[in-house]
Amino acid sequence: MAQDTSTDIPLKVLIAGGGISGLTAALGLRQQGHDVTVFERTDLAKEFGAAIHIGPNGHGILKNLGVFPEELGANQFEKLAEYDAQGELKNLVDLLSLDVWPNKWVGCHRVALHEKIKEKAIALDGPGIPVTVKTGSLVVDVDPESATVVLDDGSKYTGDIVLGADGVSSNTRKIVVGPDIKPRGSGKSLFRFMIPREAIQKNPRIAHFAQYNGCMSSWHGEVCRLVMYPCVNNTLMNIGAIHPSYLSPAKGEGWDQEASKEKLLEVFGAFGPQVKEMLDLVDSSTLKVWSLLDMERIPRWYRGRLALLGDAAHPFMPSCVAMEDAASIAALLPRGTSKDDIPERLALYQSIRDERAHRIQASTRNSGRDLSEEEKRQFDCWSPSSRCFFYVLTPLQGRTPFNTTLITMSGRILQRSSKNISNTGTAPKFRSTVHHVWN
């Protein structure tokens, strides 16, 4: 009887885009034993980006892949501090006493994380076949039926499956869902910059803003809000200054739109003197403004042998959702998956990711919304209408949903699991936003 040797044949996986989702998928698929090539349009030499926070979901995925954010200077979140626009402390929550997540919630320098994932993916040692990363390779077309990638120089590569991880302005999305679904401004923009923690601590009028290690702090005005957290072993503060886009028109969709300190201080002009003193520490040359994007739900995640992941599928989400996509696709394609199994696996991928990703998207939209004064007065995180839910998915560990944790920035904490719902928090009236951490 002829022996089926298909289980010994690695899949040939082609990935468009070498960002966090593309490289995480590449690393996971390498570890599953597949032969992976990543096409990245840039030379990956001038990576930039400030910090990203990695929720317990992302942290668990990275650990499973052998990437340990703490080794990159990522610091665990230990506290949440909430201030009003004048800089008066409204709530302080001790996160370490909670002990509710299976993995840590950390702040990490994005470039260090991206570099480490790439390093592990292409390393000559380690399990599987080292990933090939072809830089300077702009993917201009994909034939989803034959899994063929076409680059801008006309060269073609054919594999068994293509992953579209080409970010917010994705070309591959157009192939899967057509040209009409594209990102649009959400109405909010973000100034982003880093300040050495020491610079804040040296000024006695504002030192208290940086007194705690691993503190996720926020300052809430009527329509503007600041979020600050440390990375690089608590030495560098990452600040995002969220505001209505019409106050600082950005020119494009990228993360690197130049901005001025004058504009930042003007937009946050109604904030208290200490808050503005802290903002004044920014080095203008590092200040960027970015328009926060939103996009309607994609009706499908794959076509033929081409599947989308990360920002290509759902911009305006925490980057851990992109890591979840990557981990899911790797988990669904173990070594031994035959080429013929791919369409069925991609259908499964879509059914796994679609509901969760879009629930998170809805939840992110909800938390980004400014509440009216009446809504602030009425706010009750226990109310189902607050829609503040978190879902567990740790695909590589095969855990089942649903064990969830919610922390509101009002200092209220909701722990919810399949068995019980318990309230361990205080209940002040002040509430401007809800912070989401996915287990």
Ligand X SMILES: Cc1cc2nc3c(=O)[nH]c(=O)nc-3n(C[C@H](O)[C@H](O)[C@H](O)COP(=O)(O)OP(=O)(O)OC[C@H]3O[C@@H](n4cnc5c(N)ncnc54)[C@H](O)[C@@H]3O)c2cc1C
Q: Which stretch binds ligand X (CB under 6 A): 47-55, 83-91, 215-223, 398-406?
A: 47-55
Q: Which stretch binds ligand X (CB under 6 A): 18-26, 59-67, 372-380, 391-399?
A: 18-26
Q: Which stretch binds ligand X (CB under 6 A): 85-93, 121-129, 310-318, 410-418?
A: 310-318
Options 11, 14, 19, 327; binder of ligand X; rule CB under 6 A: 19
The yes or no reply on residue 311 touching ligand X (CB under 6 A) is yes
Least distance to ligand X from the beta carbon of 135, Å? Answer: 9
Q: Which stretch binds ligand X (CB under 6 A): 41-49, 193-201, 212-220, 385-393?
A: 41-49
Q: Which stretch binds ligand X (CB under 6 A): 43-51, 80-88, 208-216, 259-267?
A: 43-51
The yes or no reply on residue 164 touching ligand X (CB under 6 A) is no
Sketch the per residue contact string, 248 through 287, with ligand X: x for CB under 6 A, - otherwise: -------x--------------------------------
Looking at residues 75 to 114 of the shown chain, list those that interact with ligand X (rule: CB under 6 A). 110
User: Toward ligand X, which CB reaches closer, 138 or 265?
Assistant: 138
Options 92, 138, 247, 265; binder of ligand X; rule CB under 6 A: 138
Least distance to ligand X from the beta carbon of 162, Å? Answer: 11
| 276 conformational bin, left if phi > 0, alpha if psi -120 to 50, beta if neither | alpha
The yes or no reply on residue 49 touching ligand X (CB under 6 A) is yes
The yes or no reply on residue 150 touching ligand X (CB under 6 A) is no
Looking at residues 316 to 355 of the shown chain, list those that interact with ligand X (rule: CB under 6 A). 319, 322
CA 177 to chain centre: 22
Options 30, 36, 40, 142; binder of ligand X; rule CB under 6 A: 40
Number of chain positions touching ligand X (CB under 6 A):
29
Whole-angstrom Cα distance, residue 149 to residue 147? 7
User: Toward ligand X, which CB reaches closer, 279 or 322?
Assistant: 322
Options 31, 57, 171, 404; binder of ligand X; rule CB under 6 A: 171
Options 10, 22, 33, 221; binder of ligand X; rule CB under 6 A: 22
User: Toward ligand X, which CB reaches closer, 175 or 275?
Assistant: 175
Note the residues at the interface with ligand X (CB under 6 A). Answer: 16-22, 39-42, 48-50, 52, 110, 138-139, 165-168, 171, 255, 310-312, 319, 322
